[in-house]
Amino acid sequence: MSENKVPRQVDRRIIYLILLIGVAIPLVVPLGFHSEVTDLVKQVYDLVESTPAGSNVMISFDYDPSTVTELQPMSKVLIEHAWRKGQKVIAVALWPQGVQMAEQAFNELLVKYPDKKYGVDYVNLGYKTGGMVTIQAMGRNFREVFPQDFKGTPIKQIPMMKNVKSFKQIGYIASLSAGNPGLKEYIMAAHDMFGIKVTGGVTAVSTPGFLPYVNNLHQLYGLLGGLKGAAEYESLLQVKGTATSGMDAQSIAHVLIIVFIIMGNYRAYQIRQNTKRKSGAKA
């Protein structure tokens, strides 16, 4: 009798609890699972790495809280890399809430780099509407587009901005883009019109649409695609940030789901075998 007994169904709440614990652990303590770095991410890293110390670089925050999970880790790792190399970061935004995204990234990193000073090592110039027209105007005359920072401080009073008059004084531009306006506009305006080096990051679902700009047209210096791209960059920089913990959580969740699928199929097999034995016994 015991041989034909089929295990009872596992309470689904137990499965949910196991998944919750499995996902929560790496979010609290990043495990740092190894992730192979793609050429796309390595190109972005090499661009930042090769830009001389003291250069002014620009990061455009072209997203809002709806995509913060994927794009915010990119902003932090790019800023950290730039600061490690002694570069001065200029933050702008083509999306209204990009200003807050920039401030959040800077404030989180200042805990790790308390020696970085506003106006000397970084500045947040704020949001400007206009998309490609605004980018073209920045390329010609930076100060006409941003006469002051987001706090209202005149740009002439910001030490690191005294010599920045156009894109000619910018080492590279990185656009973290959730849509339009964003990375595509920087490619067409900043790179194609002014010849400045452009890189950036997009959500995972948008990544395939930008691959031709890297592989065929050579208008992009690499690309960070989704949370995985940010995690790969963190591994190159040897930091365990939110992208690494997020990918760890995803990996564990995928493994647990596979295990549950195997267990479910094994139980279904046992049920079929038990049914066959019962049918044979009646016959």
Domain segments of the chain as ranges? 2-25+249-282, 35-239
- β-partners of residue 70 are none
What pTM value is reported for the model? 0.79
Among the residue ranges 110-119, 195-204, 225-234, the one predicted with the least confidence is 225-234
Q: Select the more confidently predicted residue: 98 or 243.
A: 98
pLDDT of residue 277: 78
Share of the chain above pLDDT 90, in %: 67
pLDDT of residue 31: 66
- CATH tag, 35-239: 3.40.50
Which tens digit of pLDDT belongs to each residue from 129-157?
999 999 999 999 999 999 999 999 999 99
Which tens digit of pLDDT belongs to each residue from 65-88?
999 999 999 999 999 999 999 999
Which tens digit of pLDDT belongs to each residue from 7-44?
556 677 777 777 677 667 766 676 666 668 999 999 99
pLDDT of residue 271: 79
Which backbone phi and psi does 88 adopt, to 5 degrees? -100, 125
Strand order of the sheet with strand 88-93? 122-127, 88-93, 56-62, 170-177, 198-202, 224-225
